[in-house]
Amino acid sequence: MVLEREAKFFRHVPSSPLSRAVASIWYAENEPAHALERFLPTGEVDLIINVRDAQLRRYELGSLDSPRRYVGPVVSGAHSQPYVIHTAQQASLLGVRFKLGFARDVIGIPLDVLGNEHVALSDVWGSVAFALQDAVMKATTPKERCAQVERFLAARLRDARGAHPAVAEAARALVGTHEPSPVAAVVRASGLCARRFIEVFRRDVGLPPKHFSRVMRFRRALELLRGGARGGLSALALEAGYCDQAHFNREFKELSGLSPTAYRSASGAYDNHVPLLGVKSIQDGAGSRP
């Protein structure tokens, strides 16, 4: 087991057999001055626990006065769309980062039902989810909190089979490729018919392969933008795997709601967090949907 500390961020690598399915369990303390952040899609599945008050809120970009509230641990499915989070819940936050294709083995349901959604873990695990929340909140150190999460997850893990072999290979290819249109090639290489491949990919990864490919390309673009890539946006677009700058601009806007230039000037502490400035307050009263 490994526990790393970087400022107010802790990362715990679990022991086997859980390590086959879980890349890390992390704990962070951070409460920015701004109230809201645009959370950009990563294509990954996460388990999130608000250690401070056991509640999480998600806002849609077009309806900031009507958050969806969740009590207890929450599963954040693979997203191909941005959404908004309240930064107050980052004051004491714990999360689980699953290895690609393995979240289904721990959560216990097909991942396609979680696509672009948040689901209360209690809807899947029942009272065990609240027992997990209580155990994490009673722990007094990041190491103890991570250990409690590891204990609960290990008890739920029956068999870390991971994704279908053809899907696992295809997902790795889509993560690593810089080709503009790689999906057709990975479908052919899978040995499955297109319909069956898409069905199994969505079940094991959480997004259709085309959407997953777009998000992986988008993440490469974010890294290049944050890294101060030279040569202008046209060169960056080609390096990230887009056909041209017009293709890059169009997809970037669809996946983030921002232009590349606007993202570069407004991005926050992490690649996929963008502060929503100019929002003075959020009313969580009558308009809220629990």
> Given this model, what pLDDT does residue 289 score?
35
Is 269 among the domain residues?
no
Q: 147 versus 3: which is more confidently predicted?
A: 147
Note the pLDDT tens digit of each residue in 233-275: 999 999 999 999 999 999 999 999 999 999 988 866 678 889 9
Least confident of 196-200, 207-211, 276-280: 276-280
Q: Where are the alpha helices (DSSP H) in the chain?
A: 103-107, 122-125, 127-138, 142-156, 165-176, 183-190, 194-205, 209-226, 232-240, 245-256, 260-266
Do 211 and 73 share a domain, yes or no? no
Do 32 and 105 share a domain, yes or no? yes
Angle 232-240/209-226 helices, nearest 10 degrees? 140
Share of the chain above pLDDT 70, in %: 91
Do 175 and 117 share a domain, yes or no? no
> Given this model, what pLDDT does residue 34 score?
86
Share of the chain above pLDDT 90, in %: 75
Do 6 and 137 share a domain, yes or no? yes
Do 108 and 30 share a domain, yes or no? yes
Do 188 and 122 share a domain, yes or no? no
Boundary-marking domain end, from 107, 123, 156: 156
Do 102 and 146 share a domain, yes or no? yes
Note the pLDDT tens digit of each residue in 190-208: 999 999 999 999 999 999 9
Q: What is the mean pLDDT of the chain?
A: 89
Count of structural domains, the chain: 2
Do 137 and 11 share a domain, yes or no? yes
Q: Mean pLDDT, to the nearest integer, of 52-76?
A: 93
Do 171 and 221 share a domain, yes or no? yes
Instruction: Give me the amino acid identity at 57.
Output: R
Q: Is 246 exposed, middle or buried (0-12, 13-18, 19+ CB in 10 A)?
A: exposed
Do 254 and 193 share a domain, yes or no? yes
Do 152 and 169 share a domain, yes or no? no
> Given this model, what pLDDT does residue 268 score?
67
Are 203 and 110 in contact, with CB atoms under 8 Å apart?
yes
Domain that holds residue 240: 165-260
Query: Is pLDDT at 280 greater than 70 in this prediction?
Result: no
Note the pLDDT tens digit of each residue in 2-35: 554 444 899 999 999 999 999 999 999 988 888 8
Q: Domain with 211 in it: what CATH number?
A: 1.10.10.60
- Per-residue pLDDT band for 62 (boundaries 50, 70, 90) equals confident
Cα separation values, 97 from 18, 25, 253, Å:
12, 6, 26
Q: Mean pLDDT, to the nearest integer, of 175-191?
A: 87
Do 171 and 146 share a domain, yes or no? no
- Per-residue pLDDT band for 229 (boundaries 50, 70, 90) equals low
- Dihedral sign of CA atoms 177, 181, 186, 189 in order: negative
Query: Is pLDDT at 181 greater than 90 in this prediction?
Result: no
> Given this model, what pLDDT does residue 19 score?
95
- Rounded to the nearest angstrom, the gap between the alpha carbon of residue 107 and the centroid of all alpha carbons in its chain is 15
